[in-house]
Structure formats: C-alpha cells, structure tokens
Amino acid sequence: MPLLLAFPNPQSKYSVGITIVIALLCLHLLVFRVVVVNSMDPSSSEEEDPYKILNIIPNPDGTFTRVDTHPESPPSPDPTLPTPVLSKDLTIDQSKHTWARIYLPRQALNNPPPLPNLPLIVFYHGGGFIFYHANSTYFHDFCIRMANATQSVVVSVDYRLAPEHRLPAAYEDSVQALHWIRASNDLWLARHADFSRCYLMGESAGGNIAYNAGLRAAAEAEQLRPLKIKGMLLIQPFFGGTKRTPSELRLAKDLNLPLAVTDSMWKLSLPVGANRDHEYSNPTVNGGSKVLDKMRELGWRVAVFGCDGDQLVDRQKELVTLLKDKRVHVVGQFYSGGRHGIFVGDASMSTKVFHLLQTLH
C-alpha cells in the first residue's frame, strides 16, 4: 500500500524542520521494509557465510575443520563372527586417499561357484559433497541392511570431499572406482559379484554423484567391460538451480534441510565462479546431457525416490520428466510427507528402495 504524506506549507517557519523529520521517517520505513522482505526472501541466504552455516573452519593449509563430526563404524571382515554381512576396506587410489568398503552377505560364502553370483551395487554416500565417509555409521548401517535384504555385493565408495576438492573431483573418483572394480583381483568381487548386473546408487549428494558418474560411465561403456551397468537408483538426489522451485520456497526454513544449507553446499562444492545452473547442479540445463541418448541405447533403467517433505522434491521430479522426455526407462517413486534423508535413516522406508532393487535384478 502506498504511503500518503501531506507536506507542510513551505512558508511556515517550521517547514524545513518538519520536512527533514518526515524524510527521516520515510527512510526508516524503507529500511525496515527491506529488512523484513529480505528476512522472508529465501534468496537472502545467498549473502550469508557458507562456512558459518555449515559449521566448518578454513585452515591455513587449504583444508577445513568440520566441527560437526559423525560416528564411524569399523569393518567386519572376520567370517567367524555372527554377522549376516561381512565388510572390509580396500584402497582405490593411494595418491588421492580414495577407498571403498565392500559388503558381502555371509550366505555367499556358503554358496561357492558355480552357483550364480550376486548383483553388484556401487553406492555413493550423501553429505552435500562436504560431509560423511563410506565408514560413517549412518551409511554403513544402510549398506549392511541393503546387502542382506537384497543379497547383493555392495561397494561403497569414499570419494574426495569439497571444498578441498570441488566438483568434478567426486565424479572423477566415482568413475575411477568403476574402473578399479572392473580390474580388481579382490576375491570377494571376483568370486561373488556378477559384473554383468551392476547398478549405481546414491543418496542426496550421492544421488547427484551416481547420476553424473553414470553419464560418464555410459559414455565409457566399452572401456568398462566386463562391468556392465544396468541402471541407477537415485535416492532423493541433490540438484539445484538459480530459479527457486515451489518446494524450495515452501520448505525454505525447514529445520531438517533449510535452503540456506543447500545454497551453502553448492557455493563450496561447485567450481569457483559457477552458479546453481551449472550442469553439475542442474541436469535440465540446455535440455539435458546428450549422453542420455547413449543411456537409453544401453537400456539402462533408472529409479528416482523422493517425498514431498523434502525441499528438493521438485528438482527430483524435474529429473524424472527430463529422462522421460529423453525416452530413458525411468520410474519415479514419490511419497507424501517424510523428510530429506528418510530413505536411509528410516529402515521402513529403506525397504521400499530394496524392494524395487530386487525387481530390477
């Protein structure tokens, strides 16, 4: 509503003073309005300090101290222990400090060849490209449940993190992991994994990594043989864009994953100078990657999981629409309510992922 002002008679001896007072009042109201609007505008988060929001501290040597640490779990490689799933850690690239944790269902040890080998799941953990590792308890427990429920060999990849290593470092590490698996002489992989039934899977930022690593893997399909990727399962994948979606605006202040946090993660993980419409963040830019045509030709099957309690859900639905437009075989599994991270953190929701995975086998 416009502000209507009646200015005093300029002939009055008090006119100058009153005019100044009114001008100051107008300026105060204008500043107040800007502050209020900015406090309600989700885009105002772009002016905030991403290090402060994410609670990480820059160090003089270029590394970062992550104040909020996450519990980690050791592997369990001993077959004499009463665990349904064995696990062990192997180095992928010592120079990059990348490695993988492999999960093997105990039942596989009781079924030596020539019985059929188990499907192979390559998993990429979440954490906004900045947090967590393959041995983080949150994802370790999920991989154990998945290996046991689906009777699959799971390779959980530990990739380099941002901001020390901005994208595409995580994508490069993830594709390198596929080549490492292809050439590996590890007995768990060689004896029990069916390289012709490989699926890429990731949650949140890991879903973004699975997608972008999948594009690179589709382009290099011949070089990856005998590893044959059959499809991808993207669990609440982390994508963005400069134009806000309705779900981002609706859940901008969501306590589980506020918009200020996702903005900060993009600032610290994208290449320096890039915005959220970079192809790493927004897969729909320029009509999507041309490699999607190759993915369709290879017959990949893709599943995208989401829920409307997640501010990223509109981005995930946009991805499903893009893949359908490219005639890639894709299904969208979207649920009401929920929150970001529910498919990993809630065992009852994890079973929905496992069930679909079993139908793909």
State residue 109's pLDDT score: 87
Specify whether the CB–CB gap between 223 and 306 falls below 8 A.
no
Write out pLDDT tens, residues 219-276. 999 999 999 999 999 999 999 999 999 999 999 999 999 999 999 999 999 999 999 9
Question: First and final CA of the chain: distance in angstroms?
Answer: 62
Q: Select which of 45, 204, 269, 281 is catalytic.
A: 204
Write out pLDDT tens, residues 8-63. 444 444 444 544 444 444 444 443 343 333 334 454 455 689 999 999 999 999 89
Model confidence at 359, in pLDDT bands (50, 70, 90)?
A: confident
Write out pLDDT tens, residues 112-149. 665 679 999 999 999 999 999 999 999 999 999 999 99
Who has greater pLDDT, 36 or 321? 321
Write out pLDDT tens, residues 137-188. 999 999 999 999 999 999 999 999 999 999 999 999 999 999 999 999 999 9
Rounded distance between C-alpha atoms, residue 136 and residue 70, angstroms:
7
Q: Select which of 125, 140, 192, 340 is catalytic.
A: 340
Burial group, residue 228, by CB count within 10 angstroms (0-12, 13-18, 19+): middle
Residue 130: which residues within 8 A CB-CB, separation 6 or more? 54, 56, 66, 161, 162, 163, 265, 268, 269
Is 340 marked active-site? yes
Is 263 marked active-site? no
Write out pLDDT tens, residues 1-10. 333 333 344 4
State residue 116's pLDDT score: 77
Q: Select which of 158, 263, 310, 314 is catalytic.
A: 310
Rounded distance between C-alpha atoms, residue 194 and residue 214, angstroms:
18
What is the pTM for the complete model shown?
0.87
Is 310 marked active-site? yes
